[in-house]
Structure 1
Amino acid sequence: MTDAVATDAAGRGIPPLFARLCDDAALFPPGNVPAARAVPAHRAHRASWYRDLVGPFLAAPKHLTDVAQAARDDETLVQLVLVVPNGPGSLASAVRATASEPGIELVGVELACAADGSPAAAAREAVWALDRELPPGVGGVVEVRRGAGLAEALDVVAASSFRAKLRTGGAVAQAFPAEVELAEFIVGCVVRRLSFKCTAGLHEAIRHTDKVTGFEHHGFLNILTATGAAVQGADASLVASLLGVRSGTELVGALRQLTPDATARTRRAFTAYGTCSIAEPLADLVRLGALELE
Protein backbone atom coordinates (compact mmCIF):
# COMPACT_ATOMS: atom_id res chain seq x y z
CA MET A 1 0.00 0.00 0.00
CA THR A 2 1.02 3.61 -0.39
CA ASP A 3 2.10 5.60 2.64
CA ALA A 4 -0.85 7.97 2.24
CA VAL A 5 -4.13 6.09 1.92
CA ALA A 6 -6.46 7.81 -0.55
CA THR A 7 -10.11 8.10 0.44
CA ASP A 8 -13.36 8.85 -1.35
CA ALA A 9 -15.81 11.60 -0.48
CA ALA A 10 -17.22 9.47 2.33
CA GLY A 11 -13.78 9.02 3.84
CA ARG A 12 -13.44 5.39 2.81
CA GLY A 13 -10.01 3.99 2.02
CA ILE A 14 -8.67 0.52 1.29
CA PRO A 15 -7.64 -1.25 4.52
CA PRO A 16 -4.61 -3.60 4.58
CA LEU A 17 -6.88 -6.67 4.43
CA PHE A 18 -7.77 -5.79 0.82
CA ALA A 19 -4.50 -4.26 -0.39
CA ARG A 20 -3.84 -5.28 -4.02
CA LEU A 21 -6.37 -8.08 -3.70
CA CYS A 22 -7.87 -7.61 -7.19
CA ASP A 23 -5.67 -8.45 -10.16
CA ASP A 24 -7.09 -6.76 -13.26
CA ALA A 25 -8.23 -9.51 -15.64
CA ALA A 26 -10.46 -7.31 -17.81
CA LEU A 27 -9.16 -8.94 -21.00
CA PHE A 28 -10.35 -12.39 -19.93
CA PRO A 29 -13.83 -13.98 -19.96
CA PRO A 30 -16.49 -13.15 -19.15
CA GLY A 31 -15.39 -9.51 -19.48
CA ASN A 32 -13.38 -9.79 -22.72
CA VAL A 33 -12.78 -6.03 -22.75
CA PRO A 34 -10.67 -4.90 -25.74
CA ALA A 35 -7.17 -3.77 -24.80
CA ALA A 36 -7.87 -0.30 -26.23
CA ARG A 37 -10.39 0.16 -23.41
CA ALA A 38 -8.88 -2.09 -20.72
CA VAL A 39 -5.45 -0.43 -20.60
CA PRO A 40 -6.67 3.16 -20.01
CA ALA A 41 -9.27 1.83 -17.57
CA HIS A 42 -6.49 0.10 -15.62
CA ARG A 43 -4.50 3.33 -15.54
CA ALA A 44 -7.59 5.13 -14.21
CA HIS A 45 -8.05 2.49 -11.51
CA ARG A 46 -4.43 2.90 -10.42
CA ALA A 47 -4.92 6.68 -10.14
CA SER A 48 -8.19 6.51 -8.20
CA TRP A 49 -9.00 6.70 -4.46
CA TYR A 50 -9.33 2.88 -4.42
CA ARG A 51 -5.97 2.35 -6.15
CA ASP A 52 -4.63 0.27 -3.25
CA LEU A 53 -7.22 -2.42 -4.05
CA VAL A 54 -5.84 -2.92 -7.56
CA GLY A 55 -3.08 -5.36 -8.46
CA PRO A 56 -1.26 -5.75 -11.78
CA PHE A 57 -2.77 -6.05 -15.23
CA LEU A 58 -3.17 -9.61 -16.55
CA ALA A 59 -2.73 -10.60 -20.18
CA ALA A 60 -2.22 -13.79 -22.16
CA PRO A 61 0.33 -14.06 -25.00
CA LYS A 62 -2.45 -13.53 -27.56
CA HIS A 63 -3.20 -10.13 -26.00
CA LEU A 64 0.34 -8.70 -26.08
CA THR A 65 0.26 -6.89 -29.42
CA ASP A 66 -2.99 -5.13 -28.60
CA VAL A 67 -1.87 -4.30 -25.04
CA ALA A 68 1.38 -2.80 -26.32
CA GLN A 69 -0.49 -0.69 -28.88
CA ALA A 70 -2.96 0.49 -26.24
CA ALA A 71 -0.08 1.39 -23.92
CA ARG A 72 1.50 3.50 -26.65
CA ASP A 73 -1.80 5.18 -27.45
CA ASP A 74 -2.45 5.87 -23.77
CA GLU A 75 1.17 6.93 -23.15
CA THR A 76 1.41 4.64 -20.13
CA LEU A 77 3.64 1.82 -18.90
CA VAL A 78 1.64 -1.32 -18.12
CA GLN A 79 2.86 -3.43 -15.20
CA LEU A 80 1.84 -6.77 -16.60
CA VAL A 81 1.48 -10.32 -15.35
CA LEU A 82 1.68 -12.74 -18.25
CA VAL A 83 -0.80 -15.62 -18.02
CA VAL A 84 0.49 -18.64 -19.95
CA PRO A 85 -2.33 -21.20 -20.23
CA ASN A 86 -0.73 -23.74 -22.55
CA GLY A 87 1.96 -25.10 -20.26
CA PRO A 88 5.75 -24.84 -20.07
CA GLY A 89 6.33 -25.47 -23.76
CA SER A 90 5.01 -22.02 -24.67
CA LEU A 91 6.67 -20.08 -21.84
CA ALA A 92 9.98 -19.06 -23.43
CA SER A 93 8.46 -17.49 -26.54
CA ALA A 94 5.82 -15.68 -24.48
CA VAL A 95 8.41 -14.14 -22.16
CA ARG A 96 10.54 -13.07 -25.14
CA ALA A 97 7.51 -11.38 -26.70
CA THR A 98 7.05 -9.13 -23.67
CA ALA A 99 10.69 -8.02 -23.81
CA SER A 100 10.20 -6.58 -27.28
CA GLU A 101 7.35 -4.28 -26.23
CA PRO A 102 8.52 -0.95 -24.69
CA GLY A 103 5.10 -0.17 -23.15
CA ILE A 104 5.08 -3.34 -21.07
CA GLU A 105 6.89 -3.97 -17.79
CA LEU A 106 6.77 -7.68 -17.02
CA VAL A 107 6.29 -8.13 -13.26
CA GLY A 108 5.02 -11.70 -13.09
CA VAL A 109 4.18 -14.89 -14.95
CA GLU A 110 1.36 -17.33 -14.20
CA LEU A 111 2.08 -20.69 -15.79
CA ALA A 112 -0.45 -23.50 -16.10
CA CYS A 113 0.80 -27.04 -15.59
CA ALA A 114 0.80 -29.40 -18.55
CA ALA A 115 -2.22 -31.67 -18.89
CA ASP A 116 -0.20 -34.88 -19.06
CA GLY A 117 1.84 -36.68 -16.39
CA SER A 118 1.08 -36.78 -12.69
CA PRO A 119 0.11 -33.50 -10.98
CA ALA A 120 3.41 -33.50 -9.10
CA ALA A 121 5.45 -34.15 -12.25
CA ALA A 122 3.55 -31.43 -14.12
CA ALA A 123 4.13 -28.98 -11.27
CA ARG A 124 7.82 -29.86 -11.23
CA GLU A 125 8.09 -29.20 -14.96
CA ALA A 126 6.37 -25.82 -14.50
CA VAL A 127 8.75 -24.88 -11.67
CA TRP A 128 11.75 -25.83 -13.78
CA ALA A 129 10.46 -23.77 -16.71
CA LEU A 130 9.90 -20.71 -14.53
CA ASP A 131 13.35 -21.07 -12.96
CA ARG A 132 14.85 -21.24 -16.44
CA GLU A 133 12.90 -18.51 -18.23
CA LEU A 134 11.94 -15.79 -15.75
CA PRO A 135 13.96 -12.58 -15.92
CA PRO A 136 15.46 -11.34 -12.62
CA GLY A 137 12.91 -9.77 -10.31
CA VAL A 138 9.88 -11.27 -12.07
CA GLY A 139 7.59 -13.33 -9.82
CA GLY A 140 6.16 -16.71 -10.77
CA VAL A 141 2.90 -18.55 -10.12
CA VAL A 142 2.20 -22.22 -10.85
CA GLU A 143 -1.41 -23.07 -11.69
CA VAL A 144 -1.76 -26.56 -10.23
CA ARG A 145 -4.15 -29.16 -11.55
CA ARG A 146 -7.24 -30.01 -9.54
CA GLY A 147 -8.11 -33.48 -8.31
CA ALA A 148 -6.11 -36.46 -7.08
CA GLY A 149 -2.45 -35.71 -6.51
CA LEU A 150 -3.00 -32.07 -5.51
CA ALA A 151 -1.12 -32.48 -2.22
CA GLU A 152 1.97 -33.77 -3.98
CA ALA A 153 1.80 -30.90 -6.48
CA LEU A 154 1.61 -28.39 -3.60
CA ASP A 155 4.70 -30.02 -2.07
CA VAL A 156 6.57 -29.30 -5.30
CA VAL A 157 5.49 -25.65 -5.49
CA ALA A 158 6.13 -25.09 -1.78
CA ALA A 159 9.74 -26.19 -2.29
CA SER A 160 10.18 -23.44 -4.90
CA SER A 161 10.13 -19.64 -4.73
CA PHE A 162 6.77 -19.44 -6.51
CA ARG A 163 3.12 -19.11 -5.52
CA ALA A 164 0.36 -21.60 -6.27
CA LYS A 165 -2.80 -20.84 -8.21
CA LEU A 166 -6.13 -22.66 -8.34
CA ARG A 167 -8.85 -22.23 -10.93
CA THR A 168 -12.16 -21.68 -9.14
CA GLY A 169 -14.62 -21.45 -12.01
CA GLY A 170 -15.23 -21.57 -15.72
CA ALA A 171 -17.77 -22.16 -18.46
CA VAL A 172 -19.12 -25.47 -17.09
CA ALA A 173 -20.35 -26.49 -13.64
CA GLN A 174 -17.47 -28.95 -13.23
CA ALA A 175 -15.00 -26.07 -13.41
CA PHE A 176 -16.12 -24.90 -9.96
CA PRO A 177 -14.50 -26.86 -7.12
CA ALA A 178 -16.77 -27.90 -4.25
CA GLU A 179 -16.26 -26.28 -0.86
CA VAL A 180 -14.36 -29.32 0.44
CA GLU A 181 -11.95 -29.35 -2.50
CA LEU A 182 -11.23 -25.64 -2.24
CA ALA A 183 -10.84 -25.95 1.54
CA GLU A 184 -8.25 -28.70 1.11
CA PHE A 185 -6.32 -26.47 -1.27
CA ILE A 186 -6.43 -23.51 1.14
CA VAL A 187 -5.39 -25.55 4.18
CA GLY A 188 -2.78 -27.38 2.10
CA CYS A 189 -1.20 -24.08 1.13
CA VAL A 190 -1.39 -22.63 4.64
CA VAL A 191 0.25 -25.61 6.37
CA ARG A 192 3.03 -25.52 3.74
CA ARG A 193 3.41 -21.73 4.12
CA LEU A 194 2.73 -21.52 0.40
CA SER A 195 1.20 -18.30 -0.88
CA PHE A 196 -1.63 -18.73 -3.37
CA LYS A 197 -4.04 -16.92 -5.63
CA CYS A 198 -7.34 -17.93 -7.21
CA THR A 199 -8.85 -17.16 -10.57
CA ALA A 200 -12.13 -17.49 -12.46
CA GLY A 201 -15.68 -17.52 -11.20
CA LEU A 202 -15.21 -15.11 -8.29
CA HIS A 203 -17.70 -12.59 -9.61
CA GLU A 204 -19.15 -11.52 -6.25
CA ALA A 205 -17.95 -11.15 -2.69
CA ILE A 206 -20.32 -13.78 -1.30
CA ARG A 207 -21.05 -17.35 -2.35
CA HIS A 208 -24.07 -17.42 -4.64
CA THR A 209 -25.96 -19.32 -7.30
CA ASP A 210 -25.85 -17.75 -10.74
CA LYS A 211 -29.42 -16.96 -11.78
CA VAL A 212 -28.75 -17.71 -15.45
CA THR A 213 -26.49 -20.77 -15.39
CA GLY A 214 -27.37 -22.23 -12.00
CA PHE A 215 -23.63 -22.60 -11.26
CA GLU A 216 -22.50 -22.34 -7.65
CA HIS A 217 -19.93 -19.52 -7.42
CA HIS A 218 -17.44 -19.05 -4.61
CA GLY A 219 -17.16 -15.58 -3.09
CA PHE A 220 -13.84 -13.79 -2.70
CA LEU A 221 -14.80 -12.73 0.84
CA ASN A 222 -15.55 -16.37 1.64
CA ILE A 223 -12.05 -17.32 0.54
CA LEU A 224 -10.53 -14.46 2.51
CA THR A 225 -12.48 -15.42 5.65
CA ALA A 226 -11.70 -19.11 5.21
CA THR A 227 -8.00 -18.33 4.80
CA GLY A 228 -8.11 -16.21 7.96
CA ALA A 229 -9.48 -19.21 9.83
CA ALA A 230 -6.90 -21.55 8.29
CA VAL A 231 -3.93 -19.41 9.33
CA GLN A 232 -5.29 -19.55 12.87
CA GLY A 233 -5.39 -23.34 12.84
CA ALA A 234 -8.84 -24.24 11.48
CA ASP A 235 -9.11 -27.62 9.79
CA ALA A 236 -10.49 -28.27 6.31
CA SER A 237 -13.98 -29.01 7.67
CA LEU A 238 -14.33 -25.58 9.29
CA VAL A 239 -12.72 -23.87 6.30
CA ALA A 240 -15.22 -25.60 3.99
CA SER A 241 -18.13 -24.41 6.12
CA LEU A 242 -16.93 -20.81 5.80
CA LEU A 243 -16.71 -21.21 2.03
CA GLY A 244 -20.41 -22.10 2.06
CA VAL A 245 -21.58 -19.03 4.02
CA ARG A 246 -24.04 -16.85 2.09
CA SER A 247 -24.31 -14.02 4.64
CA GLY A 248 -22.17 -10.96 4.06
CA THR A 249 -22.86 -9.82 7.61
CA GLU A 250 -21.44 -13.07 8.98
CA LEU A 251 -18.32 -12.92 6.83
CA VAL A 252 -17.58 -9.25 7.54
CA GLY A 253 -18.15 -9.94 11.23
CA ALA A 254 -15.59 -12.74 11.14
CA LEU A 255 -13.08 -10.53 9.35
CA ARG A 256 -13.54 -7.84 11.98
CA GLN A 257 -12.18 -10.29 14.54
CA LEU A 258 -8.84 -10.67 12.77
CA THR A 259 -5.93 -9.16 14.66
CA PRO A 260 -3.33 -7.17 12.69
CA ASP A 261 -1.03 -10.20 12.85
CA ALA A 262 -3.75 -12.55 11.61
CA THR A 263 -4.60 -10.07 8.84
CA ALA A 264 -0.97 -10.01 7.69
CA ARG A 265 -0.75 -13.81 7.76
CA THR A 266 -4.04 -14.12 5.89
CA ARG A 267 -2.82 -11.91 3.07
CA ARG A 268 0.59 -13.58 2.93
CA ALA A 269 -1.36 -16.78 2.27
CA PHE A 270 -4.14 -15.54 -0.04
CA THR A 271 -2.37 -12.89 -2.09
CA ALA A 272 -4.85 -12.02 -4.85
CA TYR A 273 -7.53 -13.16 -7.23
CA GLY A 274 -8.16 -12.39 -10.86
CA THR A 275 -11.28 -10.37 -11.63
CA CYS A 276 -12.56 -9.11 -14.97
CA SER A 277 -14.12 -6.14 -13.15
CA ILE A 278 -12.56 -3.86 -10.56
CA ALA A 279 -15.76 -1.85 -10.10
CA GLU A 280 -17.87 -4.84 -9.03
CA PRO A 281 -15.76 -6.07 -6.09
CA LEU A 282 -15.29 -2.47 -4.99
CA ALA A 283 -19.07 -1.96 -5.02
CA ASP A 284 -19.53 -5.18 -3.01
CA LEU A 285 -17.02 -4.05 -0.38
CA VAL A 286 -18.73 -0.67 -0.08
CA ARG A 287 -22.21 -2.22 0.13
CA LEU A 288 -21.15 -4.68 2.82
CA GLY A 289 -19.38 -2.05 4.90
CA ALA A 290 -16.14 -3.97 4.56
CA LEU A 291 -14.04 -0.90 3.83
CA GLU A 292 -14.44 0.09 7.46
CA LEU A 293 -12.29 -2.88 8.48
CA GLU A 294 -8.97 -1.71 9.89
Structure 2
Amino acid sequence: MGLHRWADCTIRSGLPLPELAPAPAGAIPDVEVVLRTVPTAPTAAEMRPVWSGPDDFAFATQVARYRVRDGRHVVVEVPPEPDMAGVRLFLLGSAFAALAVQRGVFQLHAGAVDGPGGVAAFAADSGHGKSTLIAHLGERGHTILSDDTLPLQIPPDGPPLVLDTVRRLKLLPDAVAALGVDRTALAPVMAGHHKLAFLADRDAPPAAPPPLAALYLLGRAEPGAGPSIRRLRGVPAVEAVRRHAYRPRLAVASGRQRALAAAALAVATGVPVFRLLRPWDLARIDDTLALIARHRADPVDELHG
Protein backbone atom coordinates (compact mmCIF):
# COMPACT_ATOMS: atom_id res chain seq x y z
CA MET A 1 0.00 0.00 0.00
CA GLY A 2 1.34 3.39 -0.98
CA LEU A 3 0.24 6.85 0.14
CA HIS A 4 0.06 9.59 -2.48
CA ARG A 5 -0.99 13.23 -2.79
CA TRP A 6 -3.63 14.18 -5.36
CA ALA A 7 -5.97 17.20 -5.52
CA ASP A 8 -7.49 17.79 -2.08
CA CYS A 9 -6.75 14.39 -0.59
CA THR A 10 -4.33 11.68 0.42
CA ILE A 11 -4.79 8.45 -1.50
CA ARG A 12 -3.94 4.98 -0.23
CA SER A 13 -3.51 2.75 -3.24
CA GLY A 14 -3.28 -0.99 -3.68
CA LEU A 15 -1.30 -0.47 -6.89
CA PRO A 16 1.86 1.60 -7.34
CA LEU A 17 1.22 5.11 -8.71
CA PRO A 18 4.61 6.53 -9.72
CA GLU A 19 2.84 9.35 -11.56
CA LEU A 20 1.77 10.90 -8.23
CA ALA A 21 3.87 12.51 -5.53
CA PRO A 22 4.18 10.61 -2.25
CA ALA A 23 2.13 11.87 0.66
CA PRO A 24 3.96 13.53 3.56
CA ALA A 25 4.80 11.43 6.57
CA GLY A 26 1.87 10.93 8.91
CA ALA A 27 -0.79 11.83 6.32
CA ILE A 28 -4.16 10.22 6.92
CA PRO A 29 -5.74 8.75 3.77
CA ASP A 30 -9.19 9.92 2.76
CA VAL A 31 -9.43 7.98 -0.52
CA GLU A 32 -8.84 4.25 -0.92
CA VAL A 33 -7.93 2.62 -4.25
CA VAL A 34 -8.45 -1.14 -4.15
CA LEU A 35 -7.04 -3.49 -6.81
CA ARG A 36 -8.78 -6.80 -7.46
CA THR A 37 -7.92 -9.58 -9.90
CA VAL A 38 -10.94 -11.12 -11.62
CA PRO A 39 -11.13 -14.05 -14.08
CA THR A 40 -12.09 -12.17 -17.25
CA ALA A 41 -11.31 -8.94 -19.07
CA PRO A 42 -14.12 -6.40 -19.66
CA THR A 43 -16.45 -7.01 -22.57
CA ALA A 44 -17.63 -4.43 -25.11
CA ALA A 45 -21.10 -4.48 -23.51
CA GLU A 46 -19.62 -3.24 -20.19
CA MET A 47 -17.87 -0.19 -21.63
CA ARG A 48 -20.77 2.21 -21.40
CA PRO A 49 -20.25 4.41 -18.32
CA VAL A 50 -23.06 4.34 -15.76
CA TRP A 51 -23.98 6.74 -12.93
CA SER A 52 -26.03 4.95 -10.25
CA GLY A 53 -26.92 8.12 -8.38
CA PRO A 54 -24.74 11.22 -8.09
CA ASP A 55 -21.95 9.49 -6.13
CA ASP A 56 -21.61 6.08 -7.76
CA PHE A 57 -19.91 5.86 -11.14
CA ALA A 58 -18.79 2.74 -13.01
CA PHE A 59 -17.11 2.23 -16.36
CA ALA A 60 -14.87 -0.26 -18.13
CA THR A 61 -12.07 -0.06 -20.65
CA GLN A 62 -10.19 -2.74 -22.54
CA VAL A 63 -7.76 -3.05 -19.62
CA ALA A 64 -9.89 -2.88 -16.44
CA ARG A 65 -13.23 -2.19 -14.75
CA TYR A 66 -13.53 0.84 -12.46
CA ARG A 67 -16.05 1.91 -9.83
CA VAL A 68 -15.87 5.25 -7.98
CA ARG A 69 -18.13 5.84 -4.97
CA ASP A 70 -18.79 8.63 -2.48
CA GLY A 71 -15.63 10.55 -3.39
CA ARG A 72 -13.69 8.12 -1.20
CA HIS A 73 -13.64 4.63 -2.75
CA VAL A 74 -12.20 3.44 -6.06
CA VAL A 75 -12.25 -0.24 -7.00
CA VAL A 76 -10.20 -1.42 -9.98
CA GLU A 77 -10.79 -4.93 -11.35
CA VAL A 78 -8.13 -6.33 -13.68
CA PRO A 79 -7.75 -9.65 -15.55
CA PRO A 80 -5.01 -12.10 -14.51
CA GLU A 81 -2.32 -10.57 -16.81
CA PRO A 82 -3.15 -6.85 -16.84
CA ASP A 83 -1.50 -4.00 -18.75
CA MET A 84 -0.72 -2.03 -15.60
CA ALA A 85 0.40 1.10 -17.48
CA GLY A 86 -2.98 1.13 -19.19
CA VAL A 87 -4.75 0.46 -15.88
CA ARG A 88 -3.07 3.52 -14.37
CA LEU A 89 -3.75 5.64 -17.45
CA PHE A 90 -7.52 5.28 -17.11
CA LEU A 91 -7.41 5.34 -13.29
CA LEU A 92 -5.64 8.71 -13.24
CA GLY A 93 -7.80 9.99 -16.09
CA SER A 94 -11.51 9.11 -16.15
CA ALA A 95 -11.70 7.43 -12.72
CA PHE A 96 -10.04 10.35 -10.95
CA ALA A 97 -12.16 12.74 -13.00
CA ALA A 98 -15.24 11.10 -11.46
CA LEU A 99 -13.57 11.23 -8.05
CA ALA A 100 -12.98 14.97 -8.49
CA VAL A 101 -16.62 15.54 -9.48
CA GLN A 102 -17.83 13.64 -6.42
CA ARG A 103 -15.48 15.63 -4.15
CA GLY A 104 -16.48 18.98 -5.66
CA VAL A 105 -13.05 19.64 -7.17
CA PHE A 106 -13.00 21.50 -10.49
CA GLN A 107 -10.43 20.25 -13.00
CA LEU A 108 -9.13 21.95 -16.12
CA HIS A 109 -7.99 19.97 -19.14
CA ALA A 110 -4.63 21.70 -18.82
CA GLY A 111 -0.99 21.41 -17.93
CA ALA A 112 0.76 23.88 -15.66
CA VAL A 113 4.22 25.12 -14.77
CA ASP A 114 5.57 27.34 -12.03
CA GLY A 115 8.21 29.91 -12.84
CA PRO A 116 8.75 33.65 -13.33
CA GLY A 117 5.37 35.35 -13.04
CA GLY A 118 3.84 32.53 -10.97
CA VAL A 119 1.87 29.46 -12.02
CA ALA A 120 0.72 29.43 -15.64
CA ALA A 121 -1.72 26.87 -17.01
CA PHE A 122 -2.00 25.83 -20.67
CA ALA A 123 -5.32 24.35 -21.78
CA ALA A 124 -6.15 22.61 -25.04
CA ASP A 125 -7.96 19.64 -26.48
CA SER A 126 -6.09 16.34 -26.70
CA GLY A 127 -3.53 16.32 -29.49
CA HIS A 128 -2.98 20.08 -29.48
CA GLY A 129 0.51 20.11 -28.02
CA LYS A 130 -0.02 20.76 -24.30
CA SER A 131 2.43 18.11 -23.18
CA THR A 132 5.11 19.12 -25.67
CA LEU A 133 4.89 22.77 -24.63
CA ILE A 134 4.94 21.85 -20.92
CA ALA A 135 7.97 19.60 -21.44
CA HIS A 136 9.90 22.36 -23.22
CA LEU A 137 9.04 24.85 -20.46
CA GLY A 138 10.38 22.30 -17.99
CA GLU A 139 13.60 22.16 -19.97
CA ARG A 140 13.79 25.98 -19.69
CA GLY A 141 13.82 25.79 -15.88
CA HIS A 142 10.12 25.92 -15.03
CA THR A 143 8.74 23.48 -12.46
CA ILE A 144 6.24 21.13 -14.09
CA LEU A 145 3.11 20.91 -11.94
CA SER A 146 0.82 18.97 -14.28
CA ASP A 147 0.51 17.65 -17.80
CA ASP A 148 -3.10 17.00 -18.73
CA THR A 149 -5.33 17.53 -15.69
CA LEU A 150 -5.25 20.47 -13.29
CA PRO A 151 -7.40 20.27 -10.14
CA LEU A 152 -8.16 23.63 -8.56
CA GLN A 153 -9.34 24.78 -5.16
CA ILE A 154 -11.63 27.78 -5.59
CA PRO A 155 -11.71 30.01 -2.50
CA PRO A 156 -14.57 32.47 -1.89
CA ASP A 157 -12.22 35.33 -2.77
CA GLY A 158 -8.88 35.49 -4.50
CA PRO A 159 -7.55 33.42 -7.40
CA PRO A 160 -7.99 29.64 -7.72
CA LEU A 161 -5.30 27.55 -6.04
CA VAL A 162 -3.41 24.80 -7.87
CA LEU A 163 -3.62 21.37 -6.25
CA ASP A 164 -1.21 18.49 -6.73
CA THR A 165 -1.88 16.15 -9.62
CA VAL A 166 -0.35 13.84 -12.23
CA ARG A 167 3.11 14.86 -13.46
CA ARG A 168 3.47 12.17 -16.10
CA LEU A 169 3.80 13.71 -19.57
CA LYS A 170 2.35 11.88 -22.57
CA LEU A 171 4.65 12.71 -25.48
CA LEU A 172 4.77 11.82 -29.16
CA PRO A 173 8.07 10.34 -30.36
CA ASP A 174 8.99 13.48 -32.33
CA ALA A 175 8.44 15.62 -29.21
CA VAL A 176 10.70 13.26 -27.23
CA ALA A 177 13.36 13.55 -29.92
CA ALA A 178 13.10 17.37 -29.90
CA LEU A 179 13.83 17.32 -26.17
CA GLY A 180 16.95 15.24 -26.70
CA VAL A 181 15.57 12.37 -24.62
CA ASP A 182 16.39 8.76 -25.49
CA ARG A 183 13.01 7.38 -26.50
CA THR A 184 14.16 3.80 -25.90
CA ALA A 185 14.31 4.65 -22.18
CA LEU A 186 10.60 5.50 -22.13
CA ALA A 187 7.65 3.11 -22.10
CA PRO A 188 4.33 3.62 -23.91
CA VAL A 189 1.55 5.11 -21.79
CA MET A 190 -0.21 1.79 -22.40
CA ALA A 191 0.44 -1.28 -24.49
CA GLY A 192 0.27 -0.52 -28.20
CA HIS A 193 -0.08 3.26 -27.73
CA HIS A 194 2.02 5.66 -29.80
CA LYS A 195 2.60 8.14 -26.95
CA LEU A 196 5.41 7.67 -24.44
CA ALA A 197 5.33 8.27 -20.68
CA PHE A 198 7.83 10.80 -19.33
CA LEU A 199 7.90 11.42 -15.57
CA ALA A 200 8.73 14.99 -14.62
CA ASP A 201 11.14 15.63 -11.74
CA ARG A 202 9.43 16.21 -8.42
CA ASP A 203 10.20 19.03 -6.03
CA ALA A 204 9.35 19.16 -2.35
CA PRO A 205 5.63 19.92 -1.94
CA PRO A 206 4.83 23.60 -1.39
CA ALA A 207 3.73 24.65 2.07
CA ALA A 208 0.37 25.70 0.59
CA PRO A 209 -1.26 25.37 -2.84
CA PRO A 210 0.07 28.16 -5.09
CA PRO A 211 -2.36 30.57 -6.78
CA LEU A 212 -2.98 30.27 -10.49
CA ALA A 213 -1.58 33.42 -12.11
CA ALA A 214 -2.65 32.98 -15.75
CA LEU A 215 -4.50 30.60 -18.06
CA TYR A 216 -3.49 30.29 -21.71
CA LEU A 217 -5.83 28.59 -24.21
CA LEU A 218 -3.77 27.04 -26.97
CA GLY A 219 -4.63 27.35 -30.65
CA ARG A 220 -2.97 27.09 -34.03
CA ALA A 221 -1.66 30.22 -35.75
CA GLU A 222 -2.38 30.88 -39.42
CA PRO A 223 0.18 29.34 -41.80
CA GLY A 224 3.31 31.49 -41.85
CA ALA A 225 2.24 33.59 -38.85
CA GLY A 226 4.21 33.87 -35.63
CA PRO A 227 2.89 33.27 -32.12
CA SER A 228 0.50 35.74 -30.52
CA ILE A 229 -1.26 36.25 -27.20
CA ARG A 230 -4.55 38.08 -26.69
CA ARG A 231 -6.62 38.42 -23.52
CA LEU A 232 -10.21 37.19 -23.35
CA ARG A 233 -12.74 38.91 -21.11
CA GLY A 234 -16.35 38.50 -20.07
CA VAL A 235 -18.53 35.80 -21.59
CA PRO A 236 -15.88 34.57 -24.08
CA ALA A 237 -13.48 33.94 -21.20
CA VAL A 238 -16.11 32.10 -19.15
CA GLU A 239 -17.20 29.96 -22.09
CA ALA A 240 -13.58 29.15 -22.93
CA VAL A 241 -12.88 28.00 -19.37
CA ARG A 242 -16.04 25.91 -19.32
CA ARG A 243 -15.11 24.33 -22.64
CA HIS A 244 -11.74 23.32 -21.23
CA ALA A 245 -13.08 21.68 -18.08
CA TYR A 246 -11.81 18.11 -17.77
CA ARG A 247 -14.48 15.51 -18.57
CA PRO A 248 -17.40 17.97 -18.20
CA ARG A 249 -19.89 15.27 -19.18
CA LEU A 250 -19.27 13.59 -15.83
CA ALA A 251 -20.45 16.70 -13.99
CA VAL A 252 -23.52 16.94 -16.22
CA ALA A 253 -24.37 13.25 -15.93
CA SER A 254 -24.16 13.39 -12.13
CA GLY A 255 -26.44 16.44 -11.94
CA ARG A 256 -23.71 18.95 -11.10
CA GLN A 257 -24.14 21.33 -14.05
CA ARG A 258 -24.56 24.36 -11.78
CA ALA A 259 -21.38 23.59 -9.87
CA LEU A 260 -19.50 23.27 -13.16
CA ALA A 261 -20.83 26.61 -14.41
CA ALA A 262 -20.04 28.33 -11.10
CA ALA A 263 -16.48 26.99 -11.11
CA ALA A 264 -15.88 28.13 -14.69
CA LEU A 265 -17.15 31.60 -13.80
CA ALA A 266 -14.92 31.76 -10.72
CA VAL A 267 -11.83 30.77 -12.71
CA ALA A 268 -12.56 33.20 -15.57
CA THR A 269 -13.11 36.10 -13.18
CA GLY A 270 -10.29 35.20 -10.78
CA VAL A 271 -7.51 34.63 -13.32
CA PRO A 272 -6.56 36.45 -16.55
CA VAL A 273 -7.43 34.23 -19.52
CA PHE A 274 -5.45 34.50 -22.77
CA ARG A 275 -5.64 32.98 -26.24
CA LEU A 276 -2.18 31.76 -27.29
CA LEU A 277 -1.84 31.01 -31.00
CA ARG A 278 1.42 29.42 -32.10
CA PRO A 279 2.98 27.93 -35.23
CA TRP A 280 2.21 24.25 -35.66
CA ASP A 281 5.86 23.35 -36.15
CA LEU A 282 8.25 21.96 -33.55
CA ALA A 283 11.11 23.70 -35.34
CA ARG A 284 9.55 27.05 -34.31
CA ILE A 285 8.72 26.20 -30.71
CA ASP A 286 11.50 28.54 -29.51
CA ASP A 287 9.47 31.47 -30.93
CA THR A 288 6.52 30.45 -28.76
CA LEU A 289 8.68 29.91 -25.67
CA ALA A 290 10.26 33.34 -26.11
CA LEU A 291 6.85 34.99 -26.42
CA ILE A 292 5.60 33.22 -23.28
CA ALA A 293 8.68 34.41 -21.36
CA ARG A 294 8.08 38.01 -22.47
CA HIS A 295 4.41 37.78 -21.53
CA ARG A 296 5.04 36.24 -18.11
CA ALA A 297 7.41 39.13 -17.38
CA ASP A 298 4.84 41.70 -18.53
CA PRO A 299 1.33 40.19 -18.99
CA VAL A 300 -0.14 42.80 -21.31
CA ASP A 301 -3.49 42.26 -23.03
CA GLU A 302 -1.94 41.62 -26.46
CA LEU A 303 1.50 40.54 -27.59
CA HIS A 304 2.95 39.28 -30.88
CA GLY A 305 6.12 37.36 -31.65
Task: Tell me the TM-score range normalised by the shorter chain.
Answer: under 0.3
**TM-score, normalised with respect to structure 1:** 0.27
**More strand by proportion, 1 or 2?**
2
- Bigger CA radius of gyration: 2
Query: So what's the TM-score if we normalise by structure 2?
Result: 0.27
